[in-house]
A and B are shown apart, each in its own frame.
Chain A
Amino acid sequence: MTATVVAVAALVAAAAVLLWARRRVAGLEARLAAAAAALESLQHAFSRFAPAEVVEDIIAQGVSHRSVKKDITVLFADLKGFTPLAERLDPDVLVALLNRWVAHMSAAITAHRGHVAKLLGDGLLAHFGALEDNPWHTSDAVDAALAMRAALAELNAALAAEGLPPLAMGVGVHRGTVVAGVIGSAQLVEYGVIGSAVNLAARVEDLTRTHDVDILVTDAVRAALDRRFTLRPMPPTPVRGMSAPLATFVLA
């Protein structure tokens, strides 16, 4: 009788331990599944900012220091006359206006396989061919610039209907070699592109004010384009950081 009681008690205890262990494992599995789902969502979200391989590198090993030299096309866009506008308009209206412009331009850029890398106050920097290999990054960038022009016209028509002032912009496009990689420290990091090609694209955008046009491209861009695009040469102009005047072309 005593042996039977002991045996039954042992069985009950074993069953209780098994049940506890199963519940614990189930709990751990649920937490692991939730963590994995969160990680996957994060990876998908981050794929907008960096190539998938870079994101996986960062997850596996911390900040990735993988960088590559790449031939890409850089596009700078900037709103003209935005500072006087900022002084006239209510801050909420101003920011809403800027956001609408950013949304329209971003849509035009991403529709042509570009990536908006940075918002720079009333401007933006985009690149083509950095996140993914793209043999046609230059024509994509120029197609994007044309789409941005059309998108701005559409936006201005809407603004006019709302009694708001029209926007004007300058776009500069240049093709060259950059270093693309994860830049920063543990506290602040981004996937970026650096090099003289980036600086030159910014100078070209600046020149849209000098030449009073909306879209300018460099000779490096012109050389990579086909006959679909109509370009008109502008007078070579001295720019900061360059020994010779810069030849640019306005996109018709």
Chain B
Amino acid sequence: MSGMAAPSPASPADGEWAECLVPPTDPPPDLEQEIRRVVGRNTVFGPRLAHAPWVARAEVRLIDGPFAYLPRALRERIALVVAQDNSCRYCYGVQRALLRIGGHSEADVDRMVRDSHLTSLPPAERAAVDWARRIARASPRPTASDFRALLATGLDRRVALEVAALAAFASFMNRVATLIALPMEALVTLPTSPVFRVVRPLLAWSLKWRRKSPLPPPRPNDGPCARLVAELGDSPTAHVLRSMVDEACASPILPKRTKALVMAVVARALWCAYGEAEARAMLAAEGFGAADADEVLATLASPRLDAREARLVPFARETVRYQAGMVQTRIRAVCRDMTPAEAVELVGIVALANATCRLSAILPDP
């Protein structure tokens, strides 16, 4: 990342990765069932994220691929490229393994990465990949006029919306995996196993991704980020986003005020007026007035913050752009007095804020 001590390595597989932030725990039975239904096996992420069940549930729903219009090949390419751009060793490793299970050779996967950086893609696919990378990088955050320019290239609007949703959701997953420092899933080393050729077809069949059908927009849709959910139209991503936001807000692990403060800081760091307005509304509902919010957002400090908020508020901005090793060290210091559930919820909240602010590029100008 520019401005930081050293550039990220060219491949996330080569980067540093800390010990996992939290110990494993037993997921609640319904969550365990949902994980098995979608992923079909024991996972590393399930027991780690189960401390805050909504975060684990969000991961499962995103792994399930809630896309009705996005072609599979484009989805795979974007997931790989965004994981690489975000230097997420976990997600990059998993995505490469999934592509190998799907029948791609190692050379195919390398070519996929290479072609995403060079210009040898069809124009519409090139536009989609570039758009996804801009959403994920948010440096600067793309705006409504950038979305209009993308549509002017001829990319179908429904595909463009799902590309933005995928890039934003991938940013969520990358941040959860990186901040928690999830250990590698067993399937990442599976392609090097001597029995891989034998088990691959069976695995590929069990993991076969099927495009979802368009759905009526979620009802009710009156909580935070309602405009964003509505803009996704009949894409199944609208339902996933609605449930992520509702469950995050309803979770009792961290106080609502703390969550709203952290979300407001992420929105300010990304200059996302929409995200900041949503967070400010949540703060106002918790009795944290506009002047107090102004002070916190201008200085990342305030006598109104409690001791934990005084640590979390400045940390939230560090989740917008980071180097994996440095942010993994930082979060340990920040979460030193927090329970595993509080730490996982914090990670989920900053990841969700980063995702929704990036996704807000699809909103028309007010």
Contact = CB atoms under 8 A, between A and B. Distances in A.
A33 interface: yes
Interface in B63-106: none
A111 interface: yes
A133 B119 CA distance: 27
B119 A44 contact: no
A37 B297 CA distance: 41
Contact of B271 (A110, A114, A135): A135
Contacts of B141: 133
Contact of B2 (A51, A135, A225, A226): A51
A110 B3 CA distance: 6
A191 B111 CA distance: 31
A140 B323 CA distance: 18
B300 A36 contact: no
Contacts of A110: 3-5
B3 A36 contact: no
A227 B100 CA distance: 55
B267 to A, nearest CB: 10
Contact of B139 (A44, A49, A132): A132
Contact of B114 (A33, A45, A60, A225): A33
Interface stretch (B7-15, B169-177, B194-202, B246-254): B7-15
A41 interface: yes
A89 B114 CA distance: 51
Contact of A107 (B5, B9, B269, B297): B5
Given A139-B300, A226-B298, A115 B114 contact: no
B10 A37 contact: yes
A40 B10 contact: yes
Contacts of A32: 114
Contacts of A136: 299-300, 317
B118 A36 contact: yes
Interface residues of B, number: 33
A232 interface: no
Contacts of B36: none
Contacts of B3: 110, 113-115, 131-132
B117 A39 contact: yes
Interface in A76-96: none
Given A36-B114, A51-B139, A135-B271, A44 B5 contact: no
Given A44-B9, A114-B3, A228-B301, A135 B119 contact: no
Nearest to A41: B10
A48 interface: yes
Interface in B105-150: 107, 110-111, 114, 117-119, 137, 139-141
A52 B137 CA distance: 9
Interface in B149-195: none
B1 interface: yes
27 contacts: A29-B107, A29-B111, A32-B114, A33-B110, A33-B111, A36-B114, A37-B10, A41-B10, A44-B10, A47-B1, A51-B139, A52-B2, A52-B137, A53-B139, A60-B119, A110-B3, A111-B5, A115-B3, A131-B2, A131-B3, A132-B2, A133-B270, A133-B271, A135-B268, A136-B300, A139-B299, A225-B299
Given A29-B107, A132-B139, A135-B268, 12 more contacts: A40-B10, A43-B117, A48-B2, A48-B7, A50-B2, A110-B3, A131-B2, A132-B3, A133-B269, A134-B269, A135-B297, A225-B299
Please name the 7 residue pairs, one residue from A and one from B, whose CB atoms are nearest each other, closest first: A226-B299, A36-B114, A44-B7, A131-B2, A115-B3, A40-B10, A47-B2
